[in-house]
Structure 1
């Protein structure tokens, strides 16, 4: 049963990290390169779509790593699992405090109602997202190292 928990946790966290990585390094660049209002509309749609799923994914990943750390408390690598969990917790806090406020505004914007500084706000979101991706990659690396 522990093997199943390890595999499920690795897949859930790994796919989440992959999605966030692709948002930062692929999708954002594609959307930013679109002409006129298309990029902003794409950002808004992505915010609505991923914004509906990611809270469950982030919390679920944190819970899975926490359960795994508790289950493997006396095994080699449990310290790495606790650190991975702490980094996932940090990513949740970053999301709530830094990224969600911008995303909450962005997902309602249209070319008619967006603020004048909308590009600066999206750039700020992008910078914080890069930091969050680095935290997530570190957490995933520790998770895999703990299970190796």
Structure 2
């Protein structure tokens, strides 16, 4: 049973990290190469779609790590699991305080109602997102290290 928990947790967190990495280093760069209307429309749609899924994914990953840590409490890798969970908490706090407010505005924008500084706001979101990606990559690396 523990083996299944370890695999599920690793896959769930790993896929989430992959999606967030792809948003940062692939999708947003593709969107930035589009004309302004299409760029903003793609970011708004992505904000709505991923904004609806990511809270469950982040909190679900945190819960899975917590269950794993509790199940193996006192074993050699428990400290690594607690560290991975702490890093995920940092990423969640960052999301709530820095990224979600920008995303909540951006997902409602259209070509007709977007603010003049929408590109600057998206650029700020991107910078925060790069930091968040680094944090969750670190969490994933620590989690995988707990496996060995």
Tell me the TM-score range normalised by the shorter chain: over 0.9
3-state DSSP of counterpart to 1:37? helix
3-state DSSP of counterpart to 1:52? helix
Q: Please list every run of at least 4 consecutive aligned residues from structure 1 whose deviation after the TM superposition is greater than 2 angstroms.
A: none
**Residues in 1 aligned to 2:142 and 2:68: alpha-carbon distance in whole angstroms:** 13
**Residues in 2 aligned to 1:48 and 1:42: alpha-carbon distance in whole angstroms:** 10
Correspondence 1:63-82 to 2 at 5 A = 63-82=63-82
Which position in structure 1 is the counterpart of 2:97? 97
Aligned residue-pair number: 148
Which position in structure 1 is the counterpart of 2:6? 6
**Residues in 1 aligned to 2:140 and 2:90: alpha-carbon distance in whole angstroms:** 13
Unaligned runs of 5+ in 2: none
Unaligned runs of 5+ in 1: none
TM-superposed CA distance for 1:65, in Å, is 0.6
TM-superposed CA distance for 1:36, in Å, is 3.0
CA-based RMSD of the aligned residues comes to: 0.6
TM-score by length of 1: 0.99
